[in-house]
Structure 1
Amino acid sequence: MSETKSNSRSYTSPLRRNQKENTRDLILDTVAEMISEGRILDFSVKDVAVRAGISYGTVYRHFPTRESILEALYEVASEIMAQSSPFTPQSLDDIPAMVGKNLEVFEERATLVQAFTVALLVNNVQPNSRHQRDQKIQEMVMESTPHLSSGAARQVAAIISHLCSSLTWATLKQRYGLNSEETAEALNWALQTLIQDITRHEED
């Protein structure tokens, strides 16, 4: 009898699990909307509950602090972008086309990506996925441009990494008013021009 009770207590139905996941997604979507509206510094767990139309206790069970909400937002956004458009160029010449694919993902999930970008900037967070991408770009630059000094190669890699980032995408759209096509064209031109310039043979 006790074994039966123990088994029933540990059982979690798929429906209950789905409800839990849906509530978690609702909370994160709500936070993304609030951050996109400029509320990165002043929202609380209670604010999220009111905005989402659920109880404070429900939000608290998933995320007891605003920091835990932001951490989850980083993880979800990073996972979505990595799955939708994994950064796997084989050479520097592949990067412009891959950035174009990234921009499509940014546009499809604009609210989430904007919130993710703002949260990273304000909280000075460096996700591991971003560090890995930057490291890969730096390695490719150094392999493709042996005529450059290590310092110059690092500078070039930093510029390419920045052009590939969601921060550059958001800046071109929000600050300069470029639409999605104009943003893609501008970044493609900048990357191709830079890559072509640095990969010219030394004597050229």
Structure 2
Amino acid sequence: MSEGKSNRRAYTSPLRCNQKENTRDRILDTVAEIISEGRILDFSVKDVAVRAGISYGTVYRHFPTRESFLEALYEIASEIMDQSSPFNPQSLDDIPAMAEKTLEIFEERATLVQAFTIALYANNVKPKSRHQRDHKIQEMVMERNSRLSLGAARQITAIISNLYSSLTWATLRQRYGLNSNETADALNWALQTLIKDITRHEED
């Protein structure tokens, strides 16, 4: 008898798991909407529950603090980017095309990416994956022009990395009112121009 009870307790319903995931996604979508409106510092678990139409207790079980919301947003956005557009260029010449594909993903998940970007910079988060990407770009910059000093290579890397980012995408879309095609064209031109100029760049 006790064995039967033990087996029943160990059983996990796939439907219940799906419902739990759907609830979590609904909560995060609501958080992304709130943050995208600029409310990164003045929302609470209760605010999210009311807006999502989910009980406070349910939201709290998933995310007990505002910080837990932000951590989850970062994780889900990073997972989407890693799966949809992994950063694996063979040379600098691959970066403009990769950036164009990344921008398409930004547009598809605009609210989430915008919220992620706001949360990232408002909290001065420096993801390890971003550091690794910067290091790879710097290596390719120095391979392209071995005459560059370390300082010059770092400057060029900084500009390329900044162009290839959700922050630049959000700035061009919101501050300057560029549509998706205009944003893609502007960033593609900037990246290609900069990359072509690296071979002509010499230290004074």
Shorter-chain-normalised TM-score: which range? over 0.9
Please name the residue that 1:126 is paired with: 126
Deviation of 1:142 after TM superposition, in Å, equals 1.8
Give the 4+ runs in structure 1 shifted more than 4 A: none
Deviation of 1:129 after TM superposition, in Å, equals 2.1
Matched, 1:140 2:140: yes
SS across alignment from 1:7: helix
TM-score (normalizing by structure 1)? 0.96
SS across alignment from 2:142: helix
- CA deviations 1:151-192 (Å, max 9, x no partner) are 100110011000000000000010011111111111111111
Q: How many residues align?
A: 203
Please name the residue that 1:192 is paired with: 192
Which structure 2 segments of 5+ residues have no match?
none
- CA deviations 1:101-140 (Å, max 9, x no partner) are 0000000000000000000010111222222211211121
Q: Which one-letter code corresponds to 1:30 in the other structure?
A: T
Paired with 1:79 and 1:201, the residues of 2 have a C-alpha distance of: 36
Percent of residue pairs identical: 84
Paired with 1:201 and 1:56, the residues of 2 have a C-alpha distance of: 58
Please name the residue that 1:36 is paired with: 36
Which structure 1 segments of 5+ residues have no match?
none
Please name the residue that 1:74 is paired with: 74
Deviation of 1:201 after TM superposition, in Å, equals 7.9
Deviation of 1:141 after TM superposition, in Å, equals 1.1
Please name the residue that 1:174 is paired with: 174
Residue pair 2:172, 2:183 contacting (<8 A) in 1 also: yes
SS across alignment from 1:135: helix
Give the CA RMSD over aligned residues.
Answer: 1.3
Residue pair 2:32, 2:116 contacting (<8 A) in 1 also: yes
The worse-fitting range, judged by mean Cα deviation, of 138-147 and 10-19 is 138-147
Please name the residue that 1:85 is paired with: 85
Q: Which one-letter code corresponds to 1:32 in the other structure?
A: A
